[in-house]
């Protein structure tokens, strides 16, 4: 059940990050959700290094913020690769 919640939280985080980074129209919803899922894993790894506890497998505000931050990082990297700039 935890992985279903992680996908939902990652999808929400990816959608929000796509709106913030102006990537919603260029990538599409499915790619933003995928970036959110990957970003949630990256965000969790980084947050655990700094002692921030907030897993995306249990729906919490901390987990959503961590997933959102990870998705923003992933979308920023994609922007650098595709466009040569952060935004």
pLDDT in tens, 31-81: 777 887 888 788 778 777 887 766 666 677 887 888 888 888 888 888 888
The total number of residues shown for the chain amounts to 87
Residue-range definition of the domain harbouring residue 44: 2-82
Number of domains comprising the chain: 1
Cα 69 from Cα 72, distance rounded (Å): 5
Average pLDDT over residues 15-42: 78
Tell me what pLDDT residue 29 has. 72
* Alpha-helical runs (H) found in 1-87: 2-20, 24-27, 29-49, 61-82
Whether 87 is covered by a domain: the verdict is: no
Residue 25: predicted pLDDT: 63
How far is 14 from 29, CA to CA, in rounded Å?
9
pLDDT for the residue numbered 1? 62
pTM of the full structure: 0.78
Give a yes or no: residue 74 inside a domain.
Answer: yes
d(C-alpha 87, C-alpha 16), whole Å: 15
Q: For residue 61, tell me if it sits in a domain.
A: yes
Instruction: Tell me what pLDDT residue 87 has.
Output: 56
Q: For residues 63 and 54, is the Cβ–Cβ distance under 8 A?
A: yes
């Amino acid at each position: 059940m935890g992985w279903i919640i992680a996908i939902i939280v990652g999808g929400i985080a990816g959608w929000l990050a796509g709106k913030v980074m102006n990537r919603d129209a260029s990538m599409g919803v499915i790619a933003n959700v995928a970036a959110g899922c990957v970003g949630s894993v990256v965000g969790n790894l980084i947050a655990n290094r700094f002692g921030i506890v907030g897993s995306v497998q249990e729906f919490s505000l901390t987990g959503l913020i961590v997933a959102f931050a990870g998705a923003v990082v992933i979308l920023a990297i994609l922007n650098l690769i595709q466009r040569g700039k952060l935004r």
